[in-house]
Amino acid sequence: MRTRDSGDCTVNTMNDDSCLSASTLGSSSVTTQLIDPLSRKLCVVRKQQDMKKRVIWGIEVPEELHWKGWELGKETTRTLILKNLSLKTQKLKYRPPKTKFFFTMIPQPIFLSPGIALTLPIVFRPLEAKEYTDQLWFEKEEGVFCVALKASLPCYKLVCPPSLQLPMCAIGDTVETWFCLSNVGDLPTFFTWEVPVPFQILPTTGLLEPGLGCKIKVTFEPLIAVIHEVEALCWYGKSGKQKNSIHIQAAAKCAQLLVSIRHKQLEDQDPEGFQKVIHFGYVSVGCVAERQIRLYNPSAVNAPFKIEMAEDMLAKDQSFSCPTSQGIVPPGEKKCVSLFFHPKTLDSKAIDYFSIVPSGCATQTLLQVVGFCRGPDIALQHCCVNFNWVKLGEHPEQTLWIENRSNCPAHFQFDIDCQDSVFSIRPAFGTLAGKTRMTLHCAYQPTHPIICFRRVACLIHHQDPLFLDLIGTCHSESTKPAILRPQHLTWYRTHLARGLTLYPPDILAAMLKEKKLERDENGALMLPIEVCESLPMQDLEDLTAQTYPNIPPMMEYFFDGTRDLAIFPPAVSLEPIDVDFGACPGPEAPNPVPLCLRNYTKGKITVVWTHRSDCPFWVTPVTSDVPPLKSVALRLHFQPPSPNCLYAVELEAFAIYKVLQCYSNIEEDCTVVPSWCLKVRARGHSYYPSLEHHIPQYSLDAPQTFPAVSSGKPSYRSLFLVNKGSMMLTFSLAPNSSPDITLKPSSGLIAPGAHQIFLISTYPKGTSWKQHVFYLKFNFYPQYLKEVSIQSREEPLELKLDTCKSIFFKPTWVGCSSTSNFTFHNPSRLPLEFEWRVSQQHQKMLAVRPSKGIIHPNENLTLTWIFSPLEEIKYLFRVGIWVWEARQPQKTKPQPTVHYRIRLVGMGVTGCLSTMLGAPPEASWL
């Protein structure tokens, strides 16, 4: 057997899926040739994608051969594969196509062994642009069968499913599904979808190439709970005149969402009604507490929801948060949502509201969240440490403890430079955990024989400062000052309130002898009664005050007389109190800075500066005398010992009446006056201009708002700065900072790992929010600036209540009562006290519960008005509510108040029972 190619058949196909498996022979018979198994497998798989096959009398044959994409005058060949699936040899013959457009090889008998396939090429030669059809007939002993031959013109045809069912959906929710749009035609075509609401099809338009398909998304977002049935139309083809349609059906239902409090506590309120209340309890400032609510979906559809927070007066001041703003609860499932409380304002009650809003027409749930902010509670064992008297050169030490009585951790720092003071405290700073105690070691190292008294502020983050009095007297062989005791401090403060501290002890003693002064029951000096009676009433009250006034700690710390702010006139002042030498790389020392020390007393004072030998800053002269009502000039020097270093210190001096330098000069013990401590902060560095200062590494805890205060009152905050680097960190308040704030301390130095506590104050002006911006400069480098922004305002005394509309009661039977609820809101950050005032003539007909009370910041309070008519008439009431700041100390002058008025309308009715004549008994009516 010899095979050869047929010269009468030209194979010219546009694809590679034709596979010739039989050859023509010179004889009158056609036999089969085995196909490579791999090639046969590929041919079968690819042919199955193009044509349908059938089995007739054990022979597998395609139903149709289809020519697409042909060109006029060009021959195109497709192959017809016959395969014997039976177990015997099959004999058959075929007839050629009738038309001249389809032709094949000369018909010859075909013998197919079992499992053998025959490939028969069919050639198509078109002469006109039209559709062609023909048949190729095969004959067997059992009968005849045919294979259709078809050549079609290029056409537009898109195929999509006839109907589409979407999942059930909740009102306000969205579901989606996909289907395939296929181009089974021969030409690329644009398509456009049209679908009525609430359905949407994406993409709405597009272009499909022949043989390709694309995924189409159908979304369903219903607004009403009904079954939706629509017809979606797809326009395509030339000029978009052909169309396909899909019948789309979907059902919409109302979703339900049940809200409950998870892990309920005794204070929580979890009713089935409109509002629920979650109590976070007491939470330490700087900490975060978490509570959870449970959302349950009992319906058969998804339940989408949103959690909306009520609009606050300032987003930065919000104490509550919910990271989940929206979500979906699947059918029959539960979802837990976390709420967080991170308080920022000490000793305050925070209230806010969250609305859980389900999709569609379901009723939303209002959730009230309540929390209390608790700060540290630090206390000192003693408020005074008395070293009594020591000899020059001795260094006594005493201990006391500092305790944190709260569960909140507390950071503290004593505002004293222990290296350059005669007093030292170890440790001078630290952190106290909740309910813990720490021992402090206080030392006294005098450098001159003088009375030493210094009131040291203990700064605490998130708490008012505490004050520790350190007193000691140093004696030498030649100088023995009067010994200062704690009782002298008590007398001094009483004398300060009575205006007697500007007189030296010798003058006070002489006035006491001359009966110009008297002693009260506590031994303190006071003006005689007959002298006081001749003074005006206001002066009389000031001079006869028995005790030192109770000064708030924040006010005492800021009003210390160093910045033209003083509670009492200062006896001695020093200017300037903050000196910046800037860059002093050397080798020559910078020019000294002049200091001016003024004596406002009527006695001569002695000023002695504390100085250690290794300190790069010092004041000359170290000791000086200042006559009464005079001033002296001093010099502040700076000599950096090392290059490329930072330096900052707080220098200390003690000023005392010169007469107290010898105890024998004191005739009356009550005239002993403690020394005045003068302080000056000095700083500088020795970096060369070409060198960059080391980069600061720090963390700063700074607030964003000042606490709420009413008009004319100061507001205070604390800041916490930590040096996280391995080198010294200097700080100073930049000159371009906001002038309406005061920051203390304004400069200093922080050791590696240490921290610095700042106190900042301002006087808010106006009810509009004002931005205060200040800058901290680190390490004397202009590029190392930290901008801090804090907002403040006066809190207005106001309530939000609907004063434009009236409160209406339903018609009420005379002798009975009806109620109507009324809600008002406190938009300020201050707790307000209110009182409703109903005229006495209306008190029998109108009442309100509660009639007075406290409404906290951001709280909505609902009252119940009770209407009890006395006769059958229409009633019109006008009542007022008076509001003032709550929890204010008792004052002689009246507190500022505001008031509002509302109108209430009600009607009294009467009636009787009657029966209709002729009506059955069940038709009786009222």
What integer pLDDT is reported at residue 888 of this predicted model?
A: 65
Contact 775, 731 (CB under 8 A): no
Mean pLDDT of 511-523: 90
Choice among 38-52, 383-397, 797-811 with the minimum mean pLDDT: 38-52
Task: Give residue-wise pLDDT tens across range 602-632.
Answer: 999 999 999 888 899 999 999 999 999 999 9
Mean pLDDT of 733-748: 92
What integer pLDDT is reported at residue 4 of this predicted model?
A: 34
Strands laid side by side in the 729-733 sheet: 747-750, 729-733, 770-778, 785-792
Mean pLDDT of 825-833: 91
14 pLDDT more than 50: no
Label residue 534 by pLDDT band (50, 70, 90): low
Contact residues for 389 (Cβ-Cβ < 8 A; gap 6+) = 472, 473, 474, 475, 483
Structure tokens given for 240: 């978009």
Burial class (CB in 10 A: 0-12, 13-18, 19+), 8: exposed
Beta strands of 85-174 (E only): which ranges?
A: 90-95, 102-103, 110-112, 117-124, 132-139, 144-151, 158-159, 163-165, 169-170
Choice among 11-15, 275-279, 409-413, 586-590 with the minimum mean pLDDT: 11-15
Structure tokens given for 638: 């700076």
Contact 787, 775 (CB under 8 A): yes
Contact 636, 681 (CB under 8 A): no
95 pLDDT more than 90: no
What integer pLDDT is reported at residue 907 of this predicted model?
A: 93
Contact residues for 588 (Cβ-Cβ < 8 A; gap 6+) = none
Contact residues for 664 (Cβ-Cβ < 8 A; gap 6+) = none
What integer pLDDT is reported at residue 33 of this predicted model?
A: 31
Task: Give residue-wise pLDDT tens across range 479-492.
Answer: 999 999 999 999 99
What whole-number percentage of the chain has pLDDT above 70? Answer: 89
DSSP letter at 660 equals: G
898 pLDDT more than 80: yes
Label residue 124 by pLDDT band (50, 70, 90): confident
**More confident site: 241 or 360:** 241
284 in helix, strand or coil?
strand
How many residues are given for the chain? 926
What whole-number percentage of the chain has pLDDT above 90? Answer: 54
What integer pLDDT is reported at residue 47 of this predicted model?
A: 34
Structure tokens given for 884: 């003032």
Choice among 87-91, 638-642, 815-819, 842-846 with the minimum mean pLDDT: 87-91
Cα gap 119→107, rounded to integer Å: 14
Task: Give residue-wise pLDDT tens across range 208-239.
Answer: 998 899 999 999 999 888 999 999 999 998 88
Instruction: Give this prediction's pTM.
Output: 0.75
Mean pLDDT of 508-527: 90
738 pLDDT more than 80: yes
What integer pLDDT is reported at residue 508 of this predicted model?
A: 93
Q: Of the segments 54-58, 754-758, 906-910, which one has the largest average pLDDT value?
A: 754-758
Label residue 166 by pLDDT band (50, 70, 90): very high
> What are the beta bridge partners of residue 459?
413
388 pLDDT more than 80: yes
**More confident site: 46 or 287:** 287
Cα gap 301→171, rounded to integer Å: 9
Structure tokens given for 311: 């609009």
Choice among 514-518, 638-642, 793-797, 890-894 with the minimum mean pLDDT: 890-894
Q: Of 425, 705, 737, give the one whose Cα is nearest residue 746.
A: 737
Mean pLDDT of 155-159: 89
**Cis bond before residue 576 (omega within 30° of 0):** yes
Task: Give residue-wise pLDDT tens across range 649-687.
Answer: 999 999 999 999 999 989 899 999 999 999 999 999 999
b/e string for 775-799 if b means 16 or more Cβ within 10 A?
ebbbbbbeebebebebbbbbbebbb
5 pLDDT more than 50: no
Alpha-carbon Rg for the chain in angstroms: 49
Choice among 84-93, 497-506, 590-599 with the minimum mean pLDDT: 84-93
Label residue 78 by pLDDT band (50, 70, 90): confident
Label residue 364 by pLDDT band (50, 70, 90): confident
Contact residues for 536 (Cβ-Cβ < 8 A; gap 6+) = none
**More confident site: 35 or 896:** 896
Q: Of the segments 423-437, 531-545, 790-804, 893-907, which one has the largest average pLDDT value?
A: 423-437
pLDDT, mean over the chain: 85
383 pLDDT more than 60: yes
Label residue 536 by pLDDT band (50, 70, 90): low
Task: Give residue-wise pLDDT tens across range 553-605.
Answer: 999 999 988 777 788 889 999 999 999 999 998 788 899 999 999 999 999 99
Task: Give residue-wise pLDDT tens across range 632-642.
Answer: 999 999 999 88
274 pLDDT more than 80: no
Q: Of 873, 875, 871, 864, give the one whose Cα is nearest residue 816.
A: 871
What integer pLDDT is reported at residue 411 of this predicted model?
A: 95
Label residue 698 by pLDDT band (50, 70, 90): very high
